[in-house]
Amino acid sequence: MTIKLYDLAAADGRRFSGNCWRTQLALAHKGLAYETVPTRFVDIASIGNGTHKTIPMIDDGGKEICDSWVIANYLEETYPDTPSLFGDGGANGPGRSYSQFLQHWNMRAISFPLLHIIIKDIYDRLDPADQPYFRESREKRFGKTLEQMVENREETLKEFQSGLNPLRTCLEDQPFLCGAAPLYPDYIVAGQLLWPRPISPLKFLEDDDVLTAWFSRILGLFDGLAAQQPKEWDGV
């Protein structure tokens, strides 16, 4: 049975959601058959049983699961005979805890500053039907206009770049965040970088950065799945 992944899509169809990319890389890692369904913000209320507020959401033979972390755990528990996302011990092993830690760290160190760099780029790329909802909901949430949010983005970009240092230290000794081969923590961070890559023209990573080499390895996985994403940033 082919799993359906409801995946956030820009006006031209490009996929830029970090959360959805995590799920897509997790499905590919497990070798499960899946198809993506391009979805706009305004479509979310009417997908599946109509109770979902966010995507990614997967439909696995009529079973609907929402939230990238819940989905990763569901896939790990439901498909134990496929390659593990968490490594030894699977859903009961230490790799699950490492993933959870990395998810929280990523939110503060990567996702939050990135949003304050690319939020206007996101808006510009959205389907016109999504733009009023996106502007209104985000401006209400942050108490600022989208334009005000990105006013200091050159400064925020520098903070973002130095905030990645713990990942660099880790990657100086090993090709992936989890060692010799990628696991879900790699997809958490890679998904986050697949967010600005197709929508923002800035230079987020230097060419000689150890993170660039790691990200190139991620882009090459699964027959270049993520590399097929249209690229807007100045980088790999």
| Residues at the site binding ligand GSH, with contacts judged by CB under 6 A | 8, 17, 19, 41, 44, 54-56, 67-69, 137
Longest dimension (CA), the chain: 49
Residue 213 makes CB contacts below 8 A (sequence gap 6+) with: 171
Least spacing, CB of residue 210 vs ligand GSH, in Å: 26
Comparing C-alpha atoms, which of 77, 101, 97, 84 is closest to residue 166?
101
Indicate the burial class of 22 (C-beta count within 10 angstroms; 0-12, 13-18, 19 or more).
Answer: buried
Report, in Å, the least distance between residue 52 CB and ligand GSH. 8
Distance in Å, CB of 167 to ligand GSH, minimum = 19
Residue type, 63: K
Proportion of the chain in helix, strand, coil states, percent, rounded to 5: 55, 10, 35
Q: Report residue 166 as tokens.
A: 């713990």
Q: Which is nearer to ligand GSH, 69 or 222 (CB)?
A: 69
Pick 137 or 145: Cβ nearer ligand GSH: 137
> Would you say 25 and 191 are in contact if contact means Cβ atoms under 8 Å apart?
yes
Min. distance of Cβ 81 from ligand GSH in angstroms? 25
The smaller minimum CB distance to ligand GSH, of residues 20 and 177, is found at 20
Partners of residue 179 on adjacent β-strands: 176
Q: Which is nearer to ligand GSH, 19 or 200 (CB)?
A: 19
- Nearer to ligand GSH among residue 16 and residue 233 (C-beta): 16
Please identify the residue of the shown chain whose CB is closest to the bound ligand GSH: 54
Q: What is the nearest approach in angstroms of ligand GSH to the Cβ of residue 126?
A: 11
Q: Which of 67/139 has CB closer to ligand GSH?
A: 67
The residue to which tokens 């966010």 are assigned: 54
Residue closer to ligand GSH by CB (options 17, 156) is: 17
Least Cβ distance, residue 209 to ligand GSH (angstroms):
25
Phi-psi region of 16 (alpha: psi -120 to 50; beta: other; left: phi over 0): alpha
| Minimum distance, C-beta of residue 134 to ligand GSH, in the bound complex (Å) | 8
Q: CA torsion angle for 101, 105, 111, 116 (degrees, to 10)?
A: 160
Distance from the first to the final alpha carbon of the chain: 34
